[in-house]
Amino acid sequence: MKPCIGLFFSKPVLHLAAVLLLMGGCTAFQPAIQTRTMTPGEYIAVKRGDILTRGELSTTTRETLSITGLADGSCASPSRACIEALKGGAGLSEEQRQSALAELWVAYAQTLPSSDPAAEAGNPQFEAWMEAARHGYAYLFFTERSASIRAFEDRQIQVRDYYNLATQEVSRLLFEIVKGTERTTDEESFRWGRWSIRVDMAAVRLPGGVGRPKELVPASSVSFAGLRSIYRRDGFGAELLAVTAEAPGTAGARGQGPQPEAAGAQPPFRWGLGNWSEMNFPVVNVLARFPGGDLKQVLATREVVLTVRDPYRDASAAIQGHQVPLAANFTAGYGLWLARSGFTRQSLRTLFGHSDGLDRPHLYLMQPFDPDRRIIVMLHGLASSPEAWANVANELMGDEALRRHYQIWQFYYPTNVPIALNHYAIRQTLRAALDYFDAGRATTASQGMVLIGHSMGGVIARLMVSSSGDAIEKMARIDHNLDDEAFARLMPSLGPVISFAPVPNVGRAVFVAAPHRGTEVAGGWLPRWLASFVRLPGDLTQGIAQQLQASRRDRSPRPKDLPNSVQNLNKNDPFIQAAADLPISPEVRYHSIIARRDASVPLALSDDGFVPYWSSHLPGAASEAVITSSHSVQEGAMSIIELRGILREDIRQYHGVPCTAAAARVGG
């Protein structure tokens, strides 16, 4: 029987198969190209991952190295040899070459150990970061296609990040050399290693006119717990915090001394002259520019200009004929300022009269004064501090439209002191700051100011937009049993405290959970017991007691004690009763944000655990938002949304665009 054809192979065929197996291994009988299913996450990681996000070179740079035959050998790991080889590699576009060189220099810089930043021969890390910035700059502005054409390409975003990081590190290392020295001009020149460096700070004014910061903190190096959002603007340049003081202390700030209204006032009311300062953690943007009109000149230069800008004032900059957005982090400086403040501990120590508490109001400007942005003044409540506004201020300034029009000023005041005296002192401090920056009230900043007050701060804000008439005078005379002669003797010091008109140039006020008519809770046994531990500043109480004793008709040895702030909030307190019906200026639009704990309780009978609706409700408000919340309603998302709406309405009305006032709103 003949064998079936195909079932047996001749010896030559078997020999050939054996040779093929030996030559090709096991893949000889497998497809040359095989597939594997990728998840969307894996695809994005391969597409966008790079030396900064996953610690490995990007796919694009590895492809560039493969084209030039450098993927192995000298480029097995980032090195100077690999970089030099790539510079001369054939078959590449300049976009491929410059973007790969920028990433390789970043990778190489990260492998270098720290060394003495002031070494005369230069710093290897500085040199590497400078080259990363230079090649990133060359790719972005001097390669075949313009940055606008590549706007949607991932590679351009990657290289922008290399440039920004390199500029950050160059700035940080240079700062280590110059910190502690005086800066006397807007432009400074340095020689470091092979580089000539010029620093241009003409567009930036640091808080308090400080020449050089004490720290330069990369915004990317800090994260925060307690802030709901981090607000940034993507763009070019390093995001840095120019810290001018280690903490936001109130000592040594400007604004101390007698003000015109208080000239001739007698102690103790000179106590009310507070002070003010600009927040000492401002954000700055630094751009590195390399002189040259074409790619060859940029790659040959050993000069760099570091331009420092204020990203609040400058949203973009012109570079090589392009208007590019400036990177900024609008949260980092504010967050670091709060984190280092110690406000929580100090505010409680202040309430109970400890020696290291706050002894007078302090006004903080949240950014260096800007004459072109209107002012929002924030006033916190009892036993509180600027920390009460942490998310509010962050969210408002994170809104680009609001940030363009407003700057935030926050008061920090001793909440143990009677409301009338804090109100007086806050007025004086606000006027002192405005007199310093805008004595003639000619700038936009001084016009149409907005007051926002929470709880006791809301009561103070209402007094700031009200007229006292003779209501407070009558209260003081009756409460302290003063006849005409005694009252006349007190008026030189007492007059500015009990007689006042609305603060000029305030256009709007927002009262948040404010007990305008006091609260029943403050009269309960527990608050009364706590109030017994509240201590007023000794110089304040002693001086007032002496003046009252000398002036009263009743010559008993002990005059009536000066009430503290907790006692002021009792609905039966004479001052809160007298202040409740003071007329608000017709020039001021005012709004109420009211909290209630239980939405099932009728509105008129509701409260937030501390303030009842009947106390926080104000007839004539342009809007009233009732939100289901505890007393700390100002930090909630619904309140912040309401504030955004009020401020946007304020912008429209201030610029002459008609806007219908909102009706009362009840929200969850």
Average pLDDT for residues 554-573, to the nearest whole number?
Answer: 71
Identify the DSSP state of 478.
Answer: H
Write down the pLDDT at residue 77.
Answer: 82
Angstrom distance (rounded) from CA 595 to CA 608: 5
* pLDDT bucket at 24, cuts 50 / 70 / 90: low
Average pLDDT for residues 487-496, to the nearest whole number?
Answer: 78
Write down the pLDDT at residue 496.
Answer: 84
- For 174-222, how does the pLDDT look when each residue is reduced to its tens digit (9 = 90+)? 999 999 899 989 999 999 889 999 999 999 999 988 899 999 999 999 9
513: left (phi over 0), alpha (psi -120 to 50) or beta: left
Residue-wise DSSP of 648-665:
HHHHHHHTT---PPPPPE
Average pLDDT for residues 606-613, to the nearest whole number?
Answer: 96
Average pLDDT for residues 221-247, to the nearest whole number?
Answer: 92
Average pLDDT for residues 491-520, to the nearest whole number?
Answer: 93
Write down the pLDDT at residue 274.
Answer: 75
Write down the pLDDT at residue 557.
Answer: 45
Contact by Cβ (8 Å): 569, 557: no
Angstrom distance (rounded) from CA 559 to CA 146: 80
Whole-Å CA distances, 110 to 103, 128, 369: 11, 9, 38
Whole-Å CA distances, 484 to 266, 543, 558: 19, 21, 20
Q: Is the pLDDT of residue 33 over 50?
A: yes
Q: Is the pLDDT of residue 549 over 80?
A: no
Residue 431 in 3-state DSSP? helix
Contact by Cβ (8 Å): 222, 337: no
Angstrom distance (rounded) from CA 123 to CA 38: 43
Write down the pLDDT at residue 25.
Answer: 55
Q: Is the pLDDT of residue 553 over 80?
A: no
Average pLDDT for residues 27-49, to the nearest whole number?
Answer: 75
The strand ranges marked E within 279-399 are 283-289, 303-309, 316-319, 322-325, 328-329, 362-365, 374-379
- For 325-342, how does the pLDDT look when each residue is reduced to its tens digit (9 = 90+)? 999 999 999 999 999 988
Write down the pLDDT at residue 575.
Answer: 94
Q: Is the pLDDT of residue 350 over 90?
A: no
In total, the chain counts a number of residues equal to: 668
Angstrom distance (rounded) from CA 629 to CA 636: 8
Better-predicted residue by pLDDT, 44 or 302: 302
Virtual torsion, Cα 630, 631, 636, 638, nearest 10 deg:
80
Identify the DSSP state of 468.
Answer: -
Write down the pLDDT at residue 265.
Answer: 47
* pLDDT bucket at 31, cuts 50 / 70 / 90: confident
Name the least confident of 20-24, 114-118, 174-178, 509-513: 20-24
Burial of 372-386, coded b for 16+ CB within 10 Å and e otherwise, reads ebbbbbbbbbbbbbb
Q: Is the pLDDT of residue 412 over 80?
A: yes
Write down the pLDDT at residue 664.
Answer: 47
Is the C-alpha dihedral spanning 143, 149, 154, 160 positive or negative?
positive
- For 256-265, how does the pLDDT look when each residue is reduced to its tens digit (9 = 90+)? 433 444 444 4
- Percent of the chain exceeding pLDDT 90 equals 61
Write down the pLDDT at residue 613.
Answer: 98
What amino acid occupies position 445?
Answer: A
Q: Is the pLDDT of residue 384 over 90?
A: no
- For 615-659, how does the pLDDT look when each residue is reduced to its tens digit (9 = 90+)? 999 999 999 999 999 999 999 999 999 999 999 999 999 987 544
Average pLDDT for residues 74-97, to the nearest whole number?
Answer: 90
The strand ranges marked E within 228-338 are 232-233, 238-243, 275-278, 283-289, 303-309, 316-319, 322-325, 328-329
Better-predicted residue by pLDDT, 44 or 166: 166
Average pLDDT for residues 40-67, to the nearest whole number?
Answer: 88
Write down the pLDDT at residue 477.
Answer: 83
Average pLDDT for residues 589-615, to the nearest whole number?
Answer: 97
Tokens of 97: 């070459």
Which residues make beta-bridge pairs with 362? 275, 412
Whole-Å CA distances, 45 to 39, 48, 161, 203, 221: 10, 5, 16, 39, 23
Is the C-alpha dihedral spanning 221, 226, 314, 102 positive or negative?
positive
Contact by Cβ (8 Å): 413, 358: yes
pTM listed for this prediction: 0.86
Average pLDDT for residues 85-90, to the nearest whole number?
Answer: 90
Contact by Cβ (8 Å): 594, 617: yes
Write down the pLDDT at residue 38.
Answer: 80
* pLDDT bucket at 57, cuts 50 / 70 / 90: very high
Write down the pLDDT at residue 251.
Answer: 41
Write down the pLDDT at residue 389.
Answer: 97
Write down the pLDDT at residue 252.
Answer: 40
What does pLDDT average to over the chain? 85
Tokens of 19: 């040779």
